[in-house]
Structure 1
Amino acid sequence: MIPDSSPRPAWASRNYSLLTTAAVVTSLGANGSLIAAAFAVLDAGGDGGDVGLVAAARTLPLVVFLLIGGAVADRLPRHRVMVAANALSFVSQAAFAALVLTGDPRLWQMMLLTALGGTGQAFFSPAAEGMLLSSVQGEHAGRAFALFRMATQGAALGGAALGGALVAAVGPGWVLAVDAGCFAFAGALRAFLDVGHIPPREPGGGMLADLRDGWREFIGRPWLWGIVVQFSLVNAVVGAANAVYGPLVARDSLGGAGPWGLALGAFGAGTAVGALLMTRYRPRRLLLAGTLAVFPLALPSAALAVPVPVGVLYGVMFVAGATVEIFGVSWMTALHQEIPEDKLSRVAAYDWFGSVALIPLATALAGPAQSTFGRTPSLWGSSALIVIATALVLLIPDIRGLRRRDTTSKPSADAEGAVRGCGGRDGVGVGDGVGRADELA
């Protein structure tokens, strides 16, 4: 067992420290591999449509298996699910790297290997979110989530910038190999997580019963399903812009992989600064503040549509990253405050499912949309969709009304039912991911 001797705040449990360290490692590798995968396809002679197909191949199994992954993570020890998923991601990325480094990769091969990685992510994400949300207690939860996101987004900054530079210097294959190593190391760390604090599941009920139970938790909270629907659109267009249009604009107008990697790094720097802000800023109306902060996420697509000079793009990406982190921390705090511990992974699975459901379609259609409408109109359309979806979700009273409680202890089942029957909590008609725009590490 890893010794527990490192100094840390009283609220930072051993699990929290292990989860944060492992997430930093995978974030370093994943943000470089996002660039590497796109340029591996382009270097193999592919076009924008092929880049979109490879990106969609990763996300499609994520959509298919997420709900099952959430049910599994609430049944089995979450750390074992996470380690097994990391092992699958390691194998898929290592094979992808070997394919790029040693031969002439075919499109179907790259799609197959990224699909295996997406399958691993489908089982990893609900388990990881449930594990993280249960790793902190009390009034410091918001600060803990902000510090977690600050650490991982700082790693995203370094990973994207270094990844773009390495793709330009030594090629995408080596960046993919580094990402495989990151999965292996992080999986080893996660093997030491302690799940003794999680009560054992009561016998009875099967997988379908678990899914129905999670659905009832999800659909019974308008603030929850409203924002998930919003981010199903937001993440789809952001994913298409980052995976398809961004590399193409970078190749044609910005100077290639290096500047695009720095642009993604600027977004990561912004999220790190936003997370630092959230260690001090405690908005009372959690998701009202968070949702208002999503509007600047429309700026990067608009900047690529122009396209603006590289320096301006860096500034736009930084601002978008900083503001969306206000949403990210508020969202995690709301989930931690409102969702019973034994249902965290199932609710997280519905959250993830909705958040990524449209990404395969958007990335697959990004190339044809460019051919039909042109790249610039497609990017302007992406910005418009973000603004419209965010404005509409503010019409839900629960999102405007959900308030931070002074304590983050979860209500009893009886109290929860009574509150839900009144239409909200705190007497206001609660009517507040990974957002997922920053991504699937």
Structure 2
Amino acid sequence: MHGFLRDLGLLRDRRFTLLLAARTISVLGTAFAPVALAFGILDLPGADATTLSVVLTAEALPMVLFMLVGGVIADRLPRHRVMMVSELVNALAFAALGVMLLSGWTPLPVMAAAAAVSGLATAVMYPALTGIIPEVVPADRLQTGNALLGLGANTSRVLGAVLGGATVTLVGGGWALAASAVLFAIGGVLIAALRMTRAERPAGERHSVLGDLRDGWREFSSRQWIWVVVAQFSIMVMAIQAGHGVLGPLIAKESLGGAPAWSAFLAGEAVGTIAGVAVSLRVRPRRPILVGVLLCLPSALPYVLLGLAAPLWAIVAAAFVLGVCFDVFGVLWQTTMQREVPAESLSRVSSYDALGSLMFGPIGLMLAGPVAHWAGTRTALLACGALVVLSTLAALLSPGVRNLRAPASTAAAEPVSG
């Protein structure tokens, strides 16, 4: 109990509390958006799946294409200002989408442009968020800070999925998107209230954008543990996107009872991410990356059980385990990056991390349907589980992954052996 009270003592820090509140409210806005956007667009006269696909693709492409540029911007400028502007731009983009749906003036190119602006803002936001945490949280409290931020974000994702659906049902997608815009704006105002001084964000030597990207790549590629785990996740995310996005819902529809069964799966995963916070607050492994990578092995369980036609309760339990493991991995990963990577390069390195980890995700979505048709949905799910296991075992061959140790001063009284 004393340890938990000490962890919660970080909430007495004004700047951390503002960052936590801003992040929690912003993620709530993000969680509102998918349901509001999907059903708001599909309810338009003449709209179909292709209409929705165009808008979602317009949002996703800038998010990927400008992630590296976002890292450069966040390493050059005060990160709290970058985050503030990103939040306010997101608010404007979603306000525009909401007004279009409410007014009935919904030309597809204009909706796609507004979605693209949101994707661009997100591409700049993510690297700045990773970099600002060590500026706000003391070095010996980084894992606690990351865990508490994760608790706020995970809780918002669960609430947003529920409240977003209810808002769409009661008042329509346009008003739900307007609610998202308000939440983003509140997040931006809270970030502005951090009032960090330029002295707290020392500027490094300025180069061209390409020069900054080369320097960031040098920092990224010189650390074996980073690029090996990013390579692992490029395969894992491809498998998980296929399993979560296409194959899992197919099996749920075919043999588990449809949407309620898949909702139970997602709810189990969401509850697991919240429970994972309690674990990540307490666990201080001597070898954080080794423990984090080992925690990826159980994430194959849901796909294996779906492929083996296990009962729904077992599949939901496996989804809960997946949520716990991914949350603890995320906290260990972020904390280690923030400790090991120089502050002036952290946002660029995190942008390479995000780009590398996510780049094969769309391929998984594209291949899932044809592979399920050719080999069968259950076989395809077993293949997803196998890819998760094989990519994880391959990462464990890396000495950098196995041997990187946390500073002795950060070890807890109850460390995980490693």
- TM interval, shorter chain, is 0.7 to 0.9
Corresponding residue for residue 193 of structure 2? 192
- Which residue matches 1:127? 128
Question: Does the CA contact (< 8 Å) of 1:165 and 1:257 recur in 2?
Answer: no
CA distance in 2 between counterparts of 1:169 and 1:311 reads: 31
CA apart distance, 1:335: 0.9
For residues 12 and 286 of structure 1, do their structure 2 counterparts lie closer, same or farther at Cα, with a shift above 3 Å needed?
farther
Q: CA deviation at 1:225?
A: 0.7
Q: Note if contact 1:168-1:257 (Cα within 8 Å) is conserved in structure 2.
A: no
The one of 397, 403, 408 aligned to 1:401: 403
Deviation at 1:244, TM superposition (A): 4.6
1:276 to 248, 273, 278: 278
Distance 1:70 1:252 in 2: 43
- Over 3 Å counting, the alpha-carbon distance change for 1:254 and 1:357 in structure 2 is same
Q: Kindly indicate whether residue 354 of structure 2 is the aligned counterpart of residue 352 of structure 1.
A: yes
Question: What is the aligned counterpart of 2:223 among 221, 225, 237?
Answer: 221
Aligned AA (2:72): A
1:337 counterpart residue number: 339
On the 8 A contact 1:63/1:122 being kept in 2, the answer is yes
Q: Alpha-carbon deviation of 1:315?
A: 2.5
Q: CA deviation at 1:97?
A: 3.6
Which residue of structure 1 lines up, in the alignment, with residue 19 of structure 2?
Answer: 19
Q: SS at the partner of 1:134?
A: helix
Quote how far apart the aligned CAs of 1:175 are.
Answer: 3.7
Identify the residue that residue 298 of structure 1 maps to in structure 2. 300
Report the Cα distance in structure 2 between the residues aligned to 1:37 and 1:242, rounded to whole angstroms: 19
Equivalence for 1:76: 77
Where structure 1 has 5 or more consecutive residues not aligned to the other structure, the ranges are 1-7, 409-431, 433-441
Deviations 1:121-143 (A, max 9, x none): 11111011100132212322222
The structural deviation recorded for 1:50 is 7.3
- Tell me, yes or no, if the aligned pair for 1:284 and 1:404 is still in contact at 8 Å: yes
Say which SS state the counterpart of residue 201 (structure 1) adopts: coil
1:99–1:349 distance in 2 versus 1, CA, 3 Å: same
Report deviation, 1:367: 4.9
Q: CA deviation at 1:9?
A: 2.3
Q: How far is 1:52 from its partner?
A: 6.2
Q: Which residue of structure 2 lines up, in the alignment, with residue 266 of structure 1?
A: 268
3-state SS in 1 of match to 2:200: coil
The residue aligned with 1:88 is 89
* CA apart distance, 1:11: 8.1
Q: Map 1:42-441; keep pairs closer than 5 Å.
A: 46-47=48-49, 55-100=56-101, 103=104, 111-167=112-168, 172-196=173-197, 197-245=199-247, 260-261=262-263, 263-302=265-304, 311-367=313-369, 375-407=377-409
Percent of pairs with identical residues: 37
Which residue in the other structure is 1:416 paired with?
none
Matched AA of 1:18: L
| TM-score where L is the length of structure 2 | 0.83
* 1:282 match: secondary structure: coil
- Gapped runs of 5+ residues in structure 2? 1-7, 411-417
Q: Following the alignment from structure 2 to structure 1, what is the Cα–Cα distance between the partners of residues 372 and 109? A: 22
Structure 2 counterpart of 1:68, one-letter code? V
Q: Residues 380 and 95 of structure 1: is their aligned pair in 2 closer, same or farther, counting only changes over 3 Å?
A: farther
CA distance in 2: counterparts of 1:179 and 1:99, whole angstroms: 14
In 2 relative to 1, CA 202–26 (structure 1 residues): closer, same or farther, beyond 3 Å? closer
- Whether the 8 Å CA contact 2:139–2:339 is kept in 1: the answer is no
Distance in 1 separating the partners of 2:324 and 2:399: 26
Q: Which amino acid aligns with 2:331?
A: V
| Residue in structure 2 matched with residue 414 of structure 1 by the alignment | none
* Counterpart residue identity of residue 380, structure 1: L
The structure-2 alpha-carbon separation of the partners of 1:192 and 1:361, relative to structure 1 and needing over 3 Å to count, comes to farther
- Structure 1: which amino acid aligns with 2:17? S
Specify the alignment match of 2:29 in structure 1. Answer: 29
* CA separation of 1:285 and 1:209: change in aligned 2, threshold 3 A: same
Greater mean deviation of Cα atoms: 260-269 or 161-170: 161-170
Question: Structure 1: which amino acid aligns with 2:391?
Answer: A
1:70–1:345 Cα contact (<8 Å) kept: yes
Query: How far is 1:181 from its partner?
Result: 2.2
CA root-mean-square deviation: 3.3
- The one-letter amino acid of 2:300's match is A
Q: Distance in 1 between matches of 2:243 and 2:169?
A: 20
In the alignment, is the contact (CA less than 8 A) between 1:55 and 1:363 conserved in 2? no
- Return closer, same or farther for 1:15/1:324 CA change in 2, 3 Å cut-off: same
Looking at structure 2, the residues matched to 31 and 308 of structure 1 have their Cα atoms a distance apart, in angstroms, of 30
